[in-house]
Structures are given as structure tokens and as C-alpha cells.
A and B are shown apart, each in its own frame.
Chain A
Amino acid sequence: MEIQITDQEKAVVVAFAGDVDLESSPEARQALLACVDRKVPVLVDLSGVSYIDSSGVASLVEAFQAARKGGRAFALVAVSEATLRVLQLARLDKVFTIYETVEDGLDQAV
């Protein structure tokens, strides 16, 4: 799994690529929580994720819950098909705010 964190003007974009699984999800979790801690809107770019397991989804859920508690925006953007299928199957597409592109996320979530 690769993580890239990009600071935009009013938000931070965390991009994951590869497999987000039991082995890599602790690192994903740490990166997500650190971004949420920065008290700016967080957009999670999942376009490069080829596989995500339930521990990876739990990392997203935890960061989402932390952002919600702090009253800050948190959204998933450019979600890959493999990830979207997992989220839809679990009806988590009803829970997360999802935007089709990073630009949409920056326009609407921020």
C-alpha cells in the first residue's frame, strides 16, 4: 500500500494505492487520524485501491467518526470500483459522503 498526503488550500487529500488489508491498515489508520487531527477537511482519494478488507474499512470508519465528533468534513473521493463494491455491499455508501472526483470533493465538501 502507498500513501500520499497532499495539502490543498482548504483541505488535505490522503490518497491510498494498492491493497488496504490487515497488514497495511494500521498505517492507513495512523495517516487518516493524523490528517483528521489537523482540524481541516479531509478527502480520502481511493482511486488507486485495488483491494480493501474489513480492517481497511474500519480505518475509514474510525477516521470518519473522529472527524464527525470534531465537526469537520470527511469524504471519500474517486472511489475505485473494487472499493465501491465493498462499500455498497455493506451499505456503507449510505454512511460515507462520496464524491466522484477530487475536484468535486474540494468544491462541495470544503
Chain B
Amino acid sequence: MPVSGHLELLADLGQAFASSLDVERTLQEAVARITRYLDAAGGALFLLDETGSTLTCVACSGDTQITGMSIGAESGIVGRCVRNNAGEIVRDVDCDPGFDRSVDKQTGYRTRSILCAPLSVKEQRVGAIELINKRDGDGLFEVSDLSLLQVLCAPAALAILNARMALALVEQERIKRELELAAEIQRGLLPPSQAPPFPIHGRNVPARTVSGDFFDFFALPDGRICFNLGDVSGKGMNAALLMVKAAGLYRCLGKTIYAPGALLGLINAEVCETATRGMFVTMVGGIYDPAADTVVIANAGHEPPLHHDRNGGFTPLPAEAPPLGIGVGLTPDEGYPETELHLAGGTLYLFSDGVTEGYARDGRPLAIEGLMQVLRENAELPLPARLDAVVARLDHGPGALRDDVTILGVDGGQG
């Protein structure tokens, strides 16, 4: 065979792989051309599966039709070729103990000689192309045949890897779009901002696309306002899904049960029934009565809310019972302990640990002291601007947030 013929075939195959949108069909055509060009009676292309345990024929040509057939990755000469990442000429399979006769038994075909070259890119093994039974001359493959097959395998291996990467990219893009849709739905679950003098405002900035934190508030018919803030263990989609459940339960039940402790007790029982993987929700639920300027809160294992009083002092309100979903610490009918607090013109802040554990610009955690300092420095600003100041201290650049940041304030003294 003239070298010009080799080059022409190599150029053709390279071109076909580069321009192909259907890699399977191109591989099929390539195997047929290679089989013909090297004058073999049959040819087959085997690919390793993801686990590296099975070789499956995805394209074949000539005397044997074995497309779809799978063999163990260690089986036969093709397995050995992939394992060693080295091409082989086996002139007489009867003299090679590594030859696997099971394929011949299944097809009824008689294999005499084999030429096999691995499909790989650097050390990444993809599979192999195997040719059987040279037709002309003495019926034996030459060393030059192996060299040529190895050269032809290179663009095929690259094309297969490229096609896999393209598929992975498409899948990644699809997941990204779904996450963005989920985030949009999730943002829609947060309450719309109310114009002043409405006393309750909140902020939620997810560290990733979706959030495991939430807050909510809604007016009750008697003039009081129900509010909550919660944080689901972990981050990402699983946390976001449990967040939606807990927030939905609170909003629904909160419209008929005006006692935060009893409400958290009910949600706890519900979350316990379906919680998986040890996931739990820390949550503060409360009701603000503008007429009396008092709040009643119940705290299920959440960061202690802070009462910033008119004189500038801060009082934390620690949890007295564990988070929702743990299943221990409360009987099913038991409510969470409630605390009543007179705001006396001060402000009650509820926040997730993304606020206190988040990094400030100096690279150190903001911590509770840092949060109190921001609130003190901005005490004269309206509540929404105070909350924005806290968020700005943490969300100071791309990738700055290590956890979802959520904060809600209840401004007293409106009634």
C-alpha cells in the first residue's frame, strides 16, 4: 500500500471526525473503511464502559456482526490490548492462550489471526479496534499494518472523548438551567418587601444558586404579624427542597395557629416523618404584636436572635430545644418553649449562621461581635438599609459567601 493512500485515509478520517455531529455513525464508517483498507475479513470497535469492567462492541464491519456484544474488560486479546495500552499482532490465535473463543462460539466464525490497537488519549483508555483474518497473501497481518492501525486509532479516540465531553457539557447546561429555574421559584417563595412603616424586613442571599435558608412574614387578621427564619443543614439542592417544605408548612399552618411554639411542634412532627440523611432544620418562629410592641418567639435549635434595645445593648435569646427533624427531645404533641419580649422601641434580629460564620473583607469570620458592630454603626438607618449593610459586609465580591446569608429584623415602637 502506498504511503499516499495511508495519508489520504488518515486525512479523510480526521476530517470526518472533526466535522461529525453523529460520532456513532462516523465510527461505524471509520471501522468499515479501516477494515477494507487493511484488507481484513472483519473489524470491530470496542469501548470500555464507565466502570472499566466491560468492553462493548459499538461498531463492526465485515464477516462478523457483533455490535452490542459485551465481554469482560480482561477478556481475550482485545482486553489485553486495552489493559497494556499497546497494539498487538497475533498471527495464530490457536497459539495464544489469551485468545477468548467464546465470541467465535457465539458467531460460528473461525478467527485465525488478529490485529488489535488500543484507543487511548495519553493514559486514558477508551477501548480498542480489532481486525480479524487478513484476506490476501499469506493471511497474516504485517508490522506495518499495526503501525497504520495505531495511527488511525488516534483521531478515533480523540473523537470519542470529545463526543463524551460534549455530552457532559450539554448535561451540565441542562442541570444549570434547572437549578436557575428552581432558584427563581424559590425566590418567589420569599415575601415581597413591604413599604414603611411595615416593621418587618428580611434579606436572603444564597451562596450557591439555590438556598437552604429562608425567611417569611405575613399579616394576621387581628393585626399581628407572623414571621420566621430558618436554616436547613447542608447546602445545595437537598437543603433547598427541605427548605421549601418547612417554609410551606409554616406559612400554611401559621395562618390558623397563632402560637409559634405549637406551630414549630407540628412542623417538627411533620419533618421527622419524612426527613432523610439526618437532615434537620433550625428555625425561629414568632409573632409580633405592633399594638403592644411585643414579640413571642420559639427557637428550634437556631442561632440566638439578638434584641438590640434603645440604649444600644444587645440581648441574645438562645434556643431551648433542638432543631426540627431530629426526632428526639420533644414528644410528638409537645410544643417548643416560647419566650415573650417587649421590644420597647428596639429591634429584634433573626439571622442564619451564614451571617456570623461568613468572612468579612479582612478574611476573618464576622462573628457575633462583628454583626453587633455593623448594627450599632448603622442604628440610625431605616431597617432595610441596616440589613443591606450587614449583607454588604459579607457579600463583598464574587465567591465571597461561604454559606447562605439570611437576616430578618423586627422594628419595635411602631404601634
| Chain A residues with a Cβ under 8 A of chain B | 22, 25, 29, 53-55, 57-65, 68, 89-92, 94-95
Contacts and interface: CB of A to CB of B under 8 A. Distances in A.
A61 B301 CA distance: 13
Given A61-B326, A65-B327, A95-B329, A55 B282 contact: no
Interface string B316-328: 0011111100111
B279 interface: yes
A90 B279 CA distance: 14
B211 to A, nearest CB: 13
B323 A90 contact: yes
Contact of B303 (A25, A61, A89): A89
A54 B320 CA distance: 18
A61 B278 contact: yes
**Which among B234, B278, B403 has the greatest number of chain A C-beta atoms within 10 A?**
B278
A57 B323 CA distance: 11
A25 B277 CA distance: 11
**Which among A22, A55, A60 has the greatest number of chain B C-beta atoms within 10 A?**
A55
Contacts of A91: 301, 319-323, 329
A91 to B, nearest CB: 5
Nearest to A21: B402
A89 B322 CA distance: 9
B67 interface: no
**Which among B279, B303, B304 has the greatest number of chain A C-beta atoms within 10 A?**
B279
Given A63-B278, A65-B327, A58 B234 contact: yes
Given A92-B323, A94-B329, A22 B303 contact: no
B327 A54 contact: no
Given A54-B234, A95-B328, A62 B304 contact: no
A46 to B, nearest CB: 16
Nearest to B276: A62
B186 interface: no
Contacts of B321: 91, 94
A60 B233 CA distance: 12
Interface string B296-328: 000001111000000000000011111100111
B329 A58 contact: no
A60 B329 contact: no
Contact of A58 (B278, B302, B322, B353): B278
20 contacts: A25-B234, A54-B234, A54-B280, A54-B282, A54-B353, A58-B277, A58-B279, A58-B280, A61-B280, A62-B277, A62-B278, A65-B278, A89-B304, A90-B322, A90-B323, A91-B301, A91-B319, A91-B322, A91-B323, A95-B322
Contact of A90 (B232, B277, B301): B301
B278 A90 contact: no
Contacts of A29: 277-278
Given A54-B234, A57-B233, 4 more contacts: A58-B280, A89-B303, A89-B304, A90-B323
A53 B234 CA distance: 8
**Which among A54, A60, A92 has the greatest number of chain B C-beta atoms within 10 A?**
A54
A94 B329 CA distance: 7
A22 B318 contact: no
Nearest to B272: A65
Contact of A92 (B232, B322, B327): B322
B231 interface: yes
Nearest to A90: B301
